[in-house]
Amino acid sequence: MRIDLASTPGHQERPNEDWVSAAAPASGGGVLVVLDGVTPPRGDDGCVHGVPWFVARLGGRLTELSGSRRDMPLDQVLTESVRATADAHRDTCDLSHVRTPQATVVVVRWDGRYVEHLVLSDSVLLLQAPDGEVTAVLDDRLDRIPREVLGSVAATDALRNAEGGFFTAAADPAVAARALTGRTPRERVRAVAALTDGASRWTDTFGQGDWADCLAVLRKEGAQGLIDRVRAVECDPARPSARHKRHDDASAVYAEL
């Protein structure tokens, strides 16, 4: 087993709001957790702690529970982790605020029999079969909303964790039912990767290669190699102006099982 991970902030003067962790429990198998904290527009989120505090709490709990409680399905792991994180600041913060700290989630867990996954919001999970074929698991609910509908903070807030909109892990444990989950027989998976959108843009925004090419970069050049390639494209003066901010927190983890 080989696991390689990297995380780079989008801006030197702002904290990285991504979380990446990997665990190889003594019982065997492994766990990967990737979160992308949502930066609150105008900085107003009703929380005295901030997004880095939130992703560290949630990421830590997800890693601990998915590694230690193999009997607990991943959607239940997410339910319990969101609840524990909300409980940690329920008395000090307004958890009913629409922009209460929130994050995208990818969790992958494997043992000798299965590779389980959970994906919520727009971080990317890639599964590679022994023959090299790559399957991307994408929660594209945010991408299906026309850009013009998301033209203002108020319009985006109206769709945030709302029916017909898009879902992130915030303060309501019930969101776990919205996550994409599944499991694949272990012998049908050679490698897995999880990327926040700051790293997946190498494929889905900049079109530098398809998902199989992206996985090939991760294998040959490592997680930092992929992020370095993203930064090179972002800094290319010939690049047409993209709809995304110039740099975003970028995180990637790659595991050969």
What type of residue is 153?
A: V
Nearer to Zn ion, 15 or 225 (CB): 15
Nearer to Zn ion, 89 or 201 (CB): 89
Min dist CB 225 to Zn ion, Å, is 36
For the chain, give the number of residues.
Answer: 257
Interface of this chain with Zn ion, residues 153 to 192, rule: CB under 5 A: none
Interface of this chain with Zn ion, residues 25 to 84, rule: CB under 5 A: 47, 49
Nearer to Zn ion, 89 or 160 (CB): 89
Min dist CB 82 to Zn ion, Å, is 14
Does residue 89 bind Zn ion (CB under 5 A)? yes
Cα 253 to Cα 95, 96, 106, 195, 232, distances in angstroms:
30, 32, 11, 7, 19
Q: In what order do the strands lie in the sheet with 18-23?
A: 18-23, 30-37, 103-110, 114-120, 180-185
Residue 39: DSSP 8-state: P
Distance, in Å, from the CA atom of 169 to the CA atom of 12, rounded to the nearest integer, reads: 26
Min dist CB 33 to Zn ion, Å, is 20
Min dist CB 158 to Zn ion, Å, is 23
Residues near 84 by beta carbon (within 8 Å), at least 6 away in sequence: 57, 61
Please, what is the end-to-end C-alpha distance for the chain in angstroms? 5
Distance, in Å, from the CA atom of 18 to the CA atom of 35, rounded to the nearest integer, reads: 5
Written as six digits, the tokens of 68 are 């230690």
Stretch of 34-42, 66-74, 87-95, 146-154 lying at the interface with Zn ion (CB under 5 A): 87-95
* Position among 6, 22, 62, 93 found at the interface with Zn ion (CB under 5 A): 93
The answer to whether residues 102 and 29 touch, using CB atoms and an 8 Å cutoff, is: no
Stretch of 19-27, 88-96, 210-218, 239-247 lying at the interface with Zn ion (CB under 5 A): 88-96
Nearer to Zn ion, 89 or 178 (CB): 89
Min dist CB 55 to Zn ion, Å, is 12
Nearer to Zn ion, 47 or 193 (CB): 47
Min dist CB 47 to Zn ion, Å, is 3
Distance, in Å, from the CA atom of 59 to the CA atom of 34, rounded to the nearest integer, reads: 8
Q: Which residues would be at the binding site for Zn ion (CB under 5 A)? A: 47, 49, 89, 93
